[in-house]
Amino acid sequence: MHIDLSNRTALVTGSTQGIGYAIAAGLARSGARVAVNGRRRESTEDAVEKLRSETGSDQVLAAPWDLASDEGERAVREAVPSVDILVNNLGIFGAIPPLEIDDAEWRRYFEVNVLTAVRLIRAYLPGMTERGWGRVQSIASDSAVVIPSEMIHYGMTKTSLLAVTRGFAKAAAGTGVTVNSVIAGPTHTAGVEDFVYQLVSRDLPWDEAQHEFMVKYRPQSLLQRLIQPEEIANMVVYLSSPQASATTGGALRVDGGYVDSILP
């Protein structure tokens, strides 16, 4: 399948590393103009230079602001006033015993993982509907469906994203704009390596630590390994394409069979 996103502008939040970076690379390779977002200017500009080198695209730009703040959101919107493809990837996670999660932490997770996506959809969706074409995607997680006991506050935010997606898809009905979420399974990123070592012995080599983590904490996985970020990006690039024009309001799984369901 040949995917051509030439003349399309994409914004990928939280894209200086991990899944977001892989998504930005995939979109750039397909011809899109891609805005890379991170909280710090230096790391964002470094990611932009790396992406330009790896993809051969000169259509990669930096949008280095903290989207969890009002000032950061306004700065990103000023730098990228119009987008055709919005990928809400920004998110935080961490293991905390459920009864130790205080109110401030519940609010912080909801602000970062949910409200940043809501604000950007609210900002960019009207322009997409006016033009009659657009793609909105929010990166959810298997934790939206299989709530992890070690981070139920994170799972709650990802469940919320599924509801947000379905609701905004209805708001965009009949306009040529699609709104979907992608349910990512356990994925190998630097942040996940740190998370794995919160749960298993730091004395273990990475391959052994990953295996122990999957066996003890993610035994439902049918892949029985962590997913690579590029495997998530492949789904996002497809959903961003004209070929995905009839897919909207959905929660598409790239979870390695982790969620025990025969429905998407």
Residue 119 resides in a domain: yes
How confident is the model over 225-245, as pLDDT tens digits? 999 999 999 999 999 999 999
Report d(CA 45, CA 38) in Å as an integer: 9
Bridge-partner residues for 35, per DSSP?
11, 61
How confident is the model over 63-111, as pLDDT tens digits? 999 999 999 999 999 999 999 999 999 999 998 999 999 999 999 999 9
Is 10 in a helix, a strand, or coil?
strand
Q: Judge residue 204's burial from the number of C-beta atoms within 10 Å of its C-beta, 0-12 exposed, 13-18 middle, 19 or more buried.
A: middle
Among residues 154, 197, 238, 258, which one is catalytic?
154
How confident is the model over 138-184, as pLDDT tens digits? 999 999 999 999 999 999 999 999 999 999 999 999 999 999 999 99
Number of domains in the chain: 1
Residue 203 resides in a domain: no
Judge whether 124 counts as a catalytic residue. Answer: no
* 181 closest CA partner among 197, 211, 159: 159
Domain range enclosing 27: 9-185+226-253
CATH code of residue 150:
3.40.50.720
The answer, as to whether pTM is greater than 0.85, is yes
